[in-house]
């Protein structure tokens, strides 16, 4: 029976090699590797239970505790639990007097393995043979404790035949299997470290921007290393072993030959800048050469390093062009990273009226007009920090004190390390455009006769008033004002007199309302008043609206001087209130209009409140 146990254990040790194959197949961190590992360990346990050492019917012994303990240590919680559930299900299916004891052994093995895993990771124990041996012996002593739950007749036989072999075979087997898997894991980690190191070396070589060429004293190419073969005049494979004169045209080869000779003679670092037609087009390079301290193939040798500086050369050229463009007709300003003014062009001085001496060294903030708040400038600088650029409208102040609208573009200039070194601002005077925009806006939003807001702007103001009422839990009111007998003045005195009357009524209505209120003209003889910030109490709000409407009627009833024509008029006013509830604009307009018509039908020169 002991030999059966040894045979089963040896078989399980051999089958555990499948674990390493599984890791190589899936990769250590692949989710499928954990699931597959759990199934492999569980299958090994099942195979062991199919070839057990049998003590009695329904009472079997095998190496499942070894496999599950090691699974907990090396495979981790998910594979260990999967293996334990698989093995436990099979043991219950086998049944017999020892079924539940077998399941307890399975659970104990998984738990012990996971605890050993935690101990290893926290440094409480070491992955050495002695530590694994102690773990194996303690695990199987614990498992033997579960065997005490077997019926008495089986227990005596267990103690006589299998207790000591169980400890002395499975305990060391656990240690040996754990040590084997630990060694395999160390080898795998070593392979991964080597692969990472090799990948890092290749990445560094590829990431290096320099072209490296090893040449002997004859100018023969011995080795060529390049991050991009397009930087070469000819493919690297075709140049090795050849002289530079055999590869490069004479015009290119001659300066390289001279540099090679100077390097060998002076034994100091030599530099040169050159342009070359490469496989990738014409490039500008900065070359450096250094003599080697030891000969190569019996000859003196030189390492030549060339860095592609095409972009830098172009940038330098662009800077020279920019210097010329700086003195253009567009106003330009250059500051340092702390916004101290370094340079301004003549167009900037002409635009704002300063001299260079008055601006150089001052902060750009001294030009602020005070028209923009701190939030505006914070948003502007946030955009510059995030994108490197900002473009928009800024009002600045001229030396004489007047404000000037400027369309401004601010661009951050960074060095090779990505740090901001300068800011460049270009500005254009948009005063004329602003005047045109204001004229267009006035035409679009204001009545040409009375200069009051028209229907379009009225609806915007009314929408805003509704939002304010909702936000502040207040009331507001909409008043429709109609001029009584307006047709009569047009018929008797002409449209010019009617226009004069409407203009004076517009002026009077504007004076009786508060600064936060809006007076608008819908057209003809109809005016609208939007009252905001009325009392939260409905009755008090109604009273406030009626009072303002009454003032409007009193003002409208005063005599009018229409260029020598004395005229008496009056008005009819309809009121509807709104509050924090959802209110439709069209509904409000209809309610106020209906209230106004009721006021007219009730005798004119009165106020009617909708719903009363």
CATH of the domain at 371: 3.30.450.20
Residue 74 resides in a domain: yes
Task: Work out the widest C-alpha separation in the chain, in whole angstroms.
Answer: 137
- Residue at which a domain ends, from 261, 284, 314: 314
What tokens appear for 77 in the block?
Answer: 């919680």
Q: What is residue 398's predicted lDDT score, i.e. its pLDDT?
A: 87
- Residue at which a domain ends, from 283, 314, 345: 314
Residue 19's CB: how many other CB atoms inside 10 A?
A: 25
Q: Is 579 exposed, middle or buried (0-12, 13-18, 19+ CB in 10 A)?
A: middle
Three-state secondary structure call for residue 361: coil
Q: Same structural domain for residues 134 and 22?
A: yes
The residues, ordered by sequence, that sit 6+ positions from 576 with a Cβ below 8 Å of its Cβ are 477, 478, 588, 591, 592, 595, 609, 610, 611
β-sheet bridge partners, residue 211:
306
- Regions of the chain where pLDDT drops below 70: 1-33, 52-58, 61, 150-169, 184, 198, 201-208, 318, 320-328, 580-582
Residue 161 resides in a domain: yes
Q: What is residue 481's predicted lDDT score, i.e. its pLDDT?
A: 95
CA distances for 460 relative to 206, 253, 590, angstroms:
62, 77, 17
Which domain, by its residues, includes 163?
2-190
Tell me the C-alpha distance between 87 and 84, whole Å: 5
Tell me the C-alpha distance between 85 and 110, whole Å: 10
Q: Same structural domain for residues 423 and 452?
A: no
Q: Same structural domain for residues 31 and 180?
A: yes
Q: Same structural domain for residues 174 and 226?
A: no
Residue 511 resides in a domain: yes
Measured in Å, how far apart are the chain's first and last C-alpha atoms? 107
Residue 205 resides in a domain: no
Q: Same structural domain for residues 450 and 408?
A: no
Q: Same structural domain for residues 430 and 454?
A: no
How many domains does one find in the chain?
A: 4
Residue 300 resides in a domain: yes
Q: Same structural domain for residues 19 and 157?
A: yes
Residue 203 resides in a domain: no
- H helical segments located in 307-395: 310-326, 346-352, 356-359, 374-387
Q: Same structural domain for residues 158 and 272?
A: no
For 172-204, b where at least 16 C-beta lie within 10 A, e where not — what string? Answer: bbbbbbbbbbbebeeeeeeeeeeeeeeeeeeee
β-sheet bridge partners, residue 480:
528, 574
Q: What is residue 3's predicted lDDT score, i.e. its pLDDT?
A: 43
- CATH number where 453 lies: 3.30.70.270
Q: Same structural domain for residues 160 and 30?
A: yes
Q: What is residue 343's predicted lDDT score, i.e. its pLDDT?
A: 87
Q: Same structural domain for residues 308 and 382?
A: no
Residue 245 resides in a domain: yes
Q: Same structural domain for residues 264 and 162?
A: no
Q: What is residue 580's predicted lDDT score, i.e. its pLDDT?
A: 65
β-sheet bridge partners, residue 426:
332, 409
Residue 359 resides in a domain: yes
Q: Same structural domain for residues 407 and 464?
A: no
Q: What is residue 277's predicted lDDT score, i.e. its pLDDT?
A: 85
β-sheet bridge partners, residue 307:
210, 286
């Amino acid at each position: 029976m002991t030999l059966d146990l040894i045979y089963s254990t040896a078989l399980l040790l051999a089958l555990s090699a499948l674990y390493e194959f599984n890791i190589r197949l899936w990769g250590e961190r692949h989710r499928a590797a954990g699931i597959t590992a759990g199934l492999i360990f569980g299958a090994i346990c099942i195979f062991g239970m199919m070839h057990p050492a049998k003590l009695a019917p329904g009472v079997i012994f095998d190496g499942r505790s070894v496999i599950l303990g090691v699974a907990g240590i090396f495979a981790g919680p998910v594979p260990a639990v999967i293996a334990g559930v698989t093995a436990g299900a099979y043991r219950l299916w086998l049944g017999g007097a020892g079924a539940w004891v077998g399941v307890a052994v399975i659970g104990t093995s998984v738990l012990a393995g996971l605890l050993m895993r935690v101990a290893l990771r926290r440094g409480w124990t070491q992955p050495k043979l002695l530590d694994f041996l102690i773990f194996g012996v303690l695990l199987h002593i614990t498992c033997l404790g579960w065997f005490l739950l077997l019926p008495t007749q089986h227990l005596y036989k267990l103690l006589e035949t299998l207790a000591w072999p169980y400890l002395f075979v499975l305990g060391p087997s656990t240690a040996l299997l754990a040590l084997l898997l630990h060694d395999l894991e160390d080898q795998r980690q070593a392979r991964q470290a080597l692969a990472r190191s090799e990948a890092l070396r290749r990445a560094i070589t590829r990431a290096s921007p320099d072209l490296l060429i090893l040449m002997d004293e004859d100018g023969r190419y011995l080795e060529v290393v390049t991050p991009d073969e397009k930087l070469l005049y000819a493919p690297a494979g075709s140049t090795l072993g050849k002289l530079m004169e055999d590869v490069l045209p004479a015009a290119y080869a001659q300066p390289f030959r001279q540099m090679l000779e100077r390097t060998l003679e002076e034994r100091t670092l030599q530099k040169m800048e050159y342009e070359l037609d490469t496989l990738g087009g014409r490039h500008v390079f900065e070359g450096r050469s250094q003599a080697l301290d030891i000969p190569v193939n019996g000859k003196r040798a030189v390492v030549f390093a060339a860095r592609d500086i095409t972009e830098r050369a172009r940038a330098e050229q662009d800077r020279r062009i920019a210097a010329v463009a700086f003195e253009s007709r567009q106003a330009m300003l250059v500051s340092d990273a702390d916004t101290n003014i370094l340079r301004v062009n003549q167009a900037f001085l002409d635009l704002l009226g300063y001299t260079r001496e008055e601006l150089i060294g001052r902060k750009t903030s001294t030009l602020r007009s005070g028209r923009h708040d701190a939030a505006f400038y914070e948003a502007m600088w946030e955009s510059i920090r995030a994108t490197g650029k900002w473009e928009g409208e800024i009002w600045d102040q001229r030396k004489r004190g007047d404000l000037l609208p400027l369309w401004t573009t601010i661009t951050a200039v960074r060095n090779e390390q990505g740090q901001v070194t300068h800011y460049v601002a270009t500005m254009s005077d948009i005063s004329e455009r602003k005047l045109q925009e204001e004229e267009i806006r006035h035409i679009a939003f204001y009545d040409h006769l009375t200069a009051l807001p028209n229907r379009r702007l009225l609806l915007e103001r009314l929408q805003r008033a509704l939002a304010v009422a909702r936000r502040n839990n207040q009331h507001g009111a909409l008043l429709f004002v109609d001029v009584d007998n307006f047709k009569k003045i047009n018929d008797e005195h002409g449209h010019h007199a009617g226009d004069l009357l409407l203009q004076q009524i517009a002026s009077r209505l504007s004076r009786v309302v508060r600064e936060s209120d809006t007076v608008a003209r819908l057209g003809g003889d109809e005016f609208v008043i939007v009252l905001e910030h009325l009392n939260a109490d409905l009755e008090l709000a109604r009273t406030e609206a009626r009072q303002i409407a009454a003032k409007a009627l009193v003002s409208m009833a005063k005599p009018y001087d229409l260029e020598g024509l004395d005229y008496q008029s009056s008005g009819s006013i309809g009121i509807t209130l709104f509050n924090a509830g959802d209110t439709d604009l069209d509904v409000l307009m209809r309610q106020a209009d209906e209230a106004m018509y009721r006021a007219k039908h009730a005798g004119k020169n009165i106020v009617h409140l909708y719903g009363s």
